[in-house]
């Protein structure tokens, strides 16, 4: 069973909700996979993540709810936006200068995240999207749509094992291919459904929202998300950041999430649960998380009826060559009916 069906079945089993008018909050949204699934089910969605690139994904996948037309570009004679973007190759910008061999050859670190051809394409497309936005040739929803399409396309040709904390020594096969930016799906649902997408610390946002189901999939270990995904953040923001080290991570990183700090995580978890104005709370956490199972149970039980579901899952393939790791994990979903 997929993780998404497991989450859905758990919610159906534990919560008494009719599928008619449910407000569902995905407060640590990441790639929006959970929000997308429940949008498709017809729920109203609140989506949040502290990372900007995640926000961009949700602005497209969650908030965009009708066909994208690009009317103004068409008026200017650009009939096929993707064909136009895929032909661009006129900018050696920030990505070329900092993340390719040619761009970095006289710098302290040589980096090999993209081929020269693809880095130029990323820079050219990203510049064009910004120019169109500044010249009011695309609407806000079209802007987020195009950046999401670019992030997906760039990620497919990145020379990494999975995340961006390191690049590979040799350019792998998929990274040698020419990047192609393609139209992504647009999930549409009833016009009356409500979608709200935001970009802040979950423990601050929780004071301002309410609904039926709060779904939480926070980081479960001490690895920093902004290091793992710095490239997507930089392509999304395109803000010429100061970068550092062999991986070229953003220098001014956000403070480490308290969900990644052993001494703080229980406090922030309890804080969000206490403040949540939601009938039901579901927390995904696995058996390698930094909070022990019994502590989650103790914390959540203070605020209502508690139950935990568990399932074994094969480990994500990017970790499979690290043989000291187990090849499966137990995915827990901790459930709470608040009273
Ligand atoms: C395990 S991932 C979520 C994955 C997501 N369910 C998906 O399908 O892609 C955890 C997410 O929490 C975000 N995050 C970490 N600390 C946060 C905080 N204090 N407030 C909001 N988001 C946070 C990270 O940026 C990351 O995207």
Residues 6+ positions from 20 with CB-CB distance below 8 Å: none
| pLDDT at site 322 | 45
Which residue matches tokens 């136009």? 84
Model-level pTM?
Answer: 0.94
What is the rounded average pLDDT for all residues in the chain? 94
End-to-end CA distance of the chain: 31
How many Å lie between the centroid of ligand 1 and the Cα of residue 67?
28
Mutate to test the pocket of ligand 1, among 45, 49, 260 (most ligand atoms within 8 A of CB): 49
Instruction: Tell me what the mean pLDDT of segment 279-307 comes to.
Output: 97
Mutate to test the pocket of ligand 1, among 26, 35, 39, 225 (most ligand atoms within 8 A of CB): 225
| pLDDT at site 325 | 57
Q: Whose CA is nearest to atom 11 of ligand 1?
A: 28
Task: Kindly give the number of the ligand 1 atom that is closest to the alpha carbon of 229.
Answer: 25
How many Å lie between the centroid of ligand 1 and the Cα of residue 51?
8
Task: Kindly give the number of the ligand 1 atom that is closest to the alpha carbon of 33.
Answer: 8
| pLDDT at site 223 | 81
Task: Kindly give the number of the ligand 1 atom that is closest to the alpha carbon of 201.
Answer: 20
| pLDDT at site 253 | 66
Q: Whose CA is nearest to atom 18 of ligand 1?
A: 201
Dihedral of the CA atoms 291, 293, 297, 299 (nearest 10)? Answer: -10
How many Å lie between the centroid of ligand 1 and the Cα of residue 259?
9
How many of the other CB atoms lie within 10 Å of CB of 162? 12
Instruction: Tell me what the mean pLDDT of segment 95-119 comes to.
Output: 97
Q: Whose CA is nearest to atom 26 of ligand 1?
A: 30
How many Å lie between the centroid of ligand 1 and the Cα of residue 225?
8
Q: How far is CA 104 from CA 78, 114, 245, 283, 288, in A?
A: 35, 12, 12, 43, 38
| pLDDT at site 6 | 97
Asked whether residue 248 carries a pLDDT value surpassing 90, the answer given is yes
Measured CA angle at 252 (ends 96, 115), to 5 deg: 15
Cβ < 6 Å from ligand 1: which residues?
Answer: 28, 30-31, 33-34, 49-51, 54, 201-202, 217-219, 225, 257, 259
Mutate to test the pocket of ligand 1, among 3, 6, 37, 50 (most ligand atoms within 8 A of CB): 50
pLDDT tens profile 192-211 = 999 999 999 999 999 999 99
| pLDDT at site 254 | 66
Instruction: Tell me what the mean pLDDT of segment 113-141 comes to.
Output: 98
pLDDT tens profile 162-178 = 999 999 999 999 999 99
| pLDDT at site 315 | 66
How many Å lie between the centroid of ligand 1 and the Cα of residue 150?
21
| pLDDT at site 20 | 81
Asked whether residue 327 carries a pLDDT value surpassing 90, the answer given is no
Instruction: Supply the DSSP symbol for 252.
Output: S
Q: How far is CA 93 from CA 81, 138, 155, 159, 240, in A?
A: 21, 22, 18, 18, 9
What's phi and psi for 279, nearest 5 deg?
-65, -40
Asked whether residue 318 carries a pLDDT value surpassing 60, the answer given is no
| pLDDT at site 323 | 45
How many Å lie between the centroid of ligand 1 and the Cα of residue 187?
22
Instruction: Tell me what the mean pLDDT of segment 84-96 comes to.
Output: 98
User: Are 318 and 263 spatial neighbours (Cβ–Cβ below 8 Å)?
Assistant: no
Instruction: Tell me what the mean pLDDT of segment 97-126 comes to.
Output: 97
Q: Whose CA is nearest to atom 5 of ligand 1?
A: 30
What share of the chain has pLDDT > 90, as a percent? Answer: 89
Mutate to test the pocket of ligand 1, among 152, 209, 218 (most ligand atoms within 8 A of CB): 218
Length of the chain: 339
């Amino acid at each position: 069973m997929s993780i998404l069906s497991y989450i859905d079945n758990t919610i159906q089993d534990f919560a008494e909700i009719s599928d008619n008018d449910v407000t569902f909050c995905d407060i640590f949204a990441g790639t929006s996979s959970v929000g997308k699934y429940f949008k498709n089910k017809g729920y109203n969605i609140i989506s949040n993540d502290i990372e900007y690139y995640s926000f961009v994904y949700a602005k497209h996948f969650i908030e965009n709810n009708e066909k994208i037309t690009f009317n103004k570009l068409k008026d200017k004679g650009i009939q096929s936006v993707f064909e136009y973007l895929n032909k661009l190759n006129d900018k050696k910008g920030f990505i070329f200068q900092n993340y390719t061999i040619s761009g970095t050859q006289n710098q302290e670190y040589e980096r090999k995240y993209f081929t020269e051809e693809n880095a130029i394409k990323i820079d050219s497309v990203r510049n064009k999207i910004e120019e169109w936005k500044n010249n009011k040739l695309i609407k806000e929803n079209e802007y987020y749509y195009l950046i999401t399409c670019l992030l997906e396309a760039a990620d497919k040709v990145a020379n990494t094992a999975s995340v961006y904390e390191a690049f590979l020594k040799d350019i792998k096969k998929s990274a040698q291919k020419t990047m192609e930016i393609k139209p992504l799906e647009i999930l549409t649902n009833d016009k009356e459904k409500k979608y709200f997408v935001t970009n802040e610390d979950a423990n601050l946002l929780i004071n301002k929202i309410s609904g039926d189901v709060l779904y939480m999939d926070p980081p479960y270990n001490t690895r920093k998300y902004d290091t793992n995904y710095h490239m997507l953040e930089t392509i999304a923001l395109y803000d010429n950041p100061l970068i550092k080290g062999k991986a070229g991570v953003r220098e001014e990183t956000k403070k480490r999430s308290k969900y990644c700090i052993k001494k703080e995580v229980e406090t922030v978890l309890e804080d969000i649960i206490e403040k949540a104005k939601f009938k039901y709370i579901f927390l995904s956490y696995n058996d390698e998380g930094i909070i022990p199972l019994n502590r989650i149970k103790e914390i959540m039980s203070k605020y209502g009826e508690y139950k935990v579901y568990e399932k074994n899952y094969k480990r994500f393939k990017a970790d499979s060559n690290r043989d000291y790791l187990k090849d499966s994990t137990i995915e827990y979903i901790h459930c709470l009916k608040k009273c």
